[in-house]
Amino acid sequence: MMKRLVLALGAVILAVRPGSAYVEAIYPLQQVLNESEVVAEGVIEKVDRQNHTAVMRVDKSLKGKCHYTHIRMNFGGGQAWHPEAIRKHLVVGAPAIIFYNAGRQSQTYLNRFFFQLYGDPNAAPDKAWWNFTHIEIRMNRTFNGSVPELSDLVQKILAGKSKAPPPDAKVPPMDPAAMKALPAPGEAVDESKLPAAFVKREAKIGTPRPADAPAKTAPGLKAEYYEGQWTALPDFNALKPAKTATAAVIDNTLRSRELHFGLRFTGYVQVAKDGVYTFYTISNDGSKLFIGSTEVVNNDHHHGAIEQSGEINLKAGLHALTVVYFQEGGNTVLDVQWEGPDLPKQKIPAQALLHAPAD
């Protein structure tokens, strides 16, 4: 970690400017593990707030052989608001995990966030002090659960029983307000009321939606074409379609003219893995996307071609899908995309779209 962490947090660029915050990108957990020669569990054993020091007792090595029985940390310096913010979270008895390399450049995980320490590789282990530099304000996108959860995940990854999660760019970075609002170790934690920087996407979005179980399906979606003039999406249930068809994909090719028409697609989308999925609609004019009765994307009203998105937590399997669209003026544009676990952002493919055929 960690030579690049000194200059650039791997794919992570760390640029410090006088009087301003530095800039980070996201550092994947797998890369942290790969570049760490030692990963060890510990617990905060002593805190001296007057002298700005703390001691972490090392209890267990998860990777490599830890050179230390204790990590002595100096919090007298550091960047911007970071030294003041971290002191609240240095609590005797708090668990922590340290990741470090031969140069004694490290990441330490404490109370749902990473911070960086530098130790003297030439000092005897019982004499060495590690100096705090900063809280990694965007590494909460790498992982933001509890220390025991991270320890369990690291052990599974190292044993080949699990894969490291990808970084989540949608999680807001930590800031002074988030650090102040984060409960200190030992305080009661309500996961649903944590600052946004520490809320897991699954918790924020809710419990996974169970898959639907239609009796019979066929490829494609049911597509209905309507003609009319609107400035917002109409109630298609109150209208009679000018024609219907089975659409292999979601687009506007069923139209009979370039202006003043609407489309509704209904059926199912096949989800391969449990997890949080992001759906996108790009439309001119308005569009919406529903999973079951839940409105996931709202891109309504008369406007040029713009993209809107929304997230939903889904179990693997089939999920009822509805996409509605209208075209009032300008270019006719309709595209629907998605991304999710091990699924890069892309147009929803034909093989993932099905419908219940009429008897």
Do 112 and 83 belong to one domain? yes
Do 141 and 266 belong to one domain? no
Do 144 and 39 belong to one domain? yes
Do 186 and 296 belong to one domain? no
Do 162 and 245 belong to one domain? no
Conformational region of residue 68, where left means phi above 0, alpha means psi within -120 to 50, and beta covers everything else:
beta
User: What amino acid occupies position 180?
Assistant: K
284 in a structural domain: yes
213 in a structural domain: no
**Residue 135 domain boundaries:** 2-204
Do 166 and 314 belong to one domain? no
Last residue of a domain, one of 204, 236, 257: 204
User: What amino acid occupies position 317?
Assistant: G
Last residue of a domain, one of 150, 169, 204: 204
Dihedral (CA of 288, 290, 293, 298) sign: negative
198 in a structural domain: yes
pLDDT tens digits, the chain, 359 residues: what are they?
A: 443 333 233 333 333 333 333 334 567 899 999 999 999 999 999 999 999 999 999 999 999 999 999 999 999 888 889 999 999 999 999 999 999 998 899 999 999 999 999 988 899 988 899 999 999 998 988 898 899 999 999 999 999 988 888 888 778 888 899 999 999 999 998 877 888 888 876 666 778 999 999 999 999 999 999 999 999 999 999 999 999 999 999 999 999 999 999 999 999 999 999 998 999 999 999 999 999 999 899 899 999 999 988 889 999 999 999 999 999 988 999 999 999 988 999 999 999 999 999 87
H helix or E strand, kind and range, residue 225: strand 221-227
Dihedral (CA of 113, 118, 123, 127) sign: negative
- CATH number where 276 lies: 2.60.120.1560
Do 65 and 150 belong to one domain? yes
Whole-angstrom Cα Rg for the chain: 26
209 in a structural domain: no
Last residue of a domain, one of 204, 233, 261: 204
Q: Give the span between the Cα atoms of 267 and 317, in whole angstroms.
A: 13
- Tally of structural domains, the chain: 2
